[in-house]
Chain A
């Protein structure tokens, strides 16, 4: 008995030594910043000086229309873009898996490639393409789809459309790959049985494929939602720091600008970050409840 105890203790110690480097990195780069951010949250920062203001940052946030609008924009992008993208990714995955026989590899690559390209490069290129005098407008004018150039970057409504299009273009392929993997795991016999019973392809899609892929849809939805809450690069570069006139300002971009450009107010920026994290957490919990709950009851 005693010998086993000693061996157990040895194994425990050995285990801790193995985990120690990870725990160390986690503490330094994860836990410490989070804990020290609690210090920032209660202070008003201005460059080299800071003063204690208690919950002042949160009160300021509640009255800050720019921040509230920014969060609103995050929600708009999320509510419109995530469902469109997930559905599109699912559709493409099904088409590539079952529908299209030739050039499958090439098409998969082409659709997936946007998600691994440099965000900055893509944003700069899109900026040039979407100019008032740019490629897209000229093509659409030439094909008589529109009568006058669309202000993709200068009009408040169209700028939001631009962001949604850019996000969809970028991430559809990424999510499509997950769905492709999921589709591989489905038993083809189910589909054959449905075929025999006379179900059309569309019917099969909605009644068999989608329900069986719910775990992956859930994963896509949760990660896309939290990604959209953290959206910063596209509004920063593509629409010029949340333009036009803050029409595409997002929470993360506003946090960045408050911290480094507008005020050097790290206290306020940290407070806003907390709020964004809490919102993301709530949204993830809601989604898990809605979509993940079904699995548990089956």
Chain B
């Protein structure tokens, strides 16, 4: 009797394990449950329709994902997942320092002509391309039409126009004079706004040989622009993310220069309804290659070579994120509406949510359509492996310049170069 029970138990356990043996597991690391985790989940659902045996496990990793990944890579791949999300500005450092850590997806058959060019740039090393581009940080100039009107300006005269920064400074001064509001909220400890402007000029921070390119015309003009904005009182300085959100949602500034993903934040405050208008990123004059478009942020998915389920991981990314089928196009459409996540897969941009008008914005501007249009024009910026120390050095120098500790643009550039050399040990 006991023996029979034992055999029955063993059989049940064995049978329970059998499907487990055949199910494949793909682990994904990413952050932000409302954005990336949500998008990945939608993708997993689409994949499971045709591949029910593949279990896609999404882990929400929060802040220290990059430190964890570098520790895992140092350990030769121990403890790493199959797929991970990387911010675009950091991936070049990883690709350069851990050359064999990622799977070449171009060789696996992904068609990169279907993705926005500026997203593919950072993930390409030689003839190999490593990631699947995900969200765009297509930028625009966000303006509060109520403050424009209060300053006696007509918002419609700016709607959809490709302005130059000199035009923007002009009406910014008017707004400040009539309403007292600075035109732009500005994160003083953050490099991003400066980079948005530099990227819009098509400028690069590094020369092709890897040395600093801070003495370029594009960079000097960008710093001068912000100094000018600062001197005219058109910048409202904040420190850190929550200060930034607080400033915008408590009406401290008449607008800001930032990316599409601010949509969620702006919409979270009901009083913003009907007030915001987004126009193309302004142009820096006198620099060839400048465009009325730029990018801030954005990440992409990468597959680790150390993964035990490489084939399944690659197939999942390729078939859901990089292939056009009615299901995948519907997926891209859903995540746009559900999380404000605009992918960079060009065929998906004809989706209904991409072209819909959004009543939350001034005159029901179809904001996603605009961002998608601008996205196609974003100049390619090569971040290079040494982007992180460079941006810290530049952000520090610019902060000192604005606080009066440095007296000119050339001094600022020299200070940035000096700090960069110190940190890099050159």
Contact = CB atoms under 8 A, between A and B. Distances in A.
Are both chains from one complex?
A: yes
Interface of A: 46-49, 60, 63-66, 127-128, 131-134, 151, 153-156, 240-241, 243-246, 258, 260-266, 268
Given A134-B243, A153-B240, A260 B66 contact: yes
Chain B interface main SS type: helix
5 contacts: A48-B100, A132-B238, A244-B188, A245-B399, A261-B66
Contacts, number: 100
Q: Shortest 3 CB-CB distances between A and B: which pairs? A: A47-B97, A245-B396, A131-B243
Contacts of A151: 239
B154 interface: no
Given A127-B240, A260-B66, 7 more contacts: A66-B423, A132-B239, A153-B243, A154-B189, A240-B239, A241-B392, A245-B395
B70 interface: yes
A245 B242 contact: no
Nearest to A56: B425
Contact of B425 (A156, A243, A268): A268
A268 B423 CA distance: 11
Interface residues of B, number: 40
Given A128-B242, A131-B242, A260-B66, A66 B419 contact: yes
Contact of A132 (B73, B74, B243): B243
Given A260-B70, A262-B388, A127 B242 contact: yes
A133 B252 contact: yes
A266 B200 CA distance: 35
Contacts of B247: 133
B389 interface: yes
A165 to B, nearest CB: 16
A244 B389 CA distance: 15
Nearest to A265: B425
Contact of B239 (A49, A64, A154, A261): A154
A261 B388 contact: yes
A260 B67 contact: yes
A132 B237 contact: yes
Interface in B239-263: 239-240, 242-243, 246-247, 250, 252
A46 B66 contact: no
A186 to B, nearest CB: 46
B51 interface: no
B240 to A, nearest CB: 6
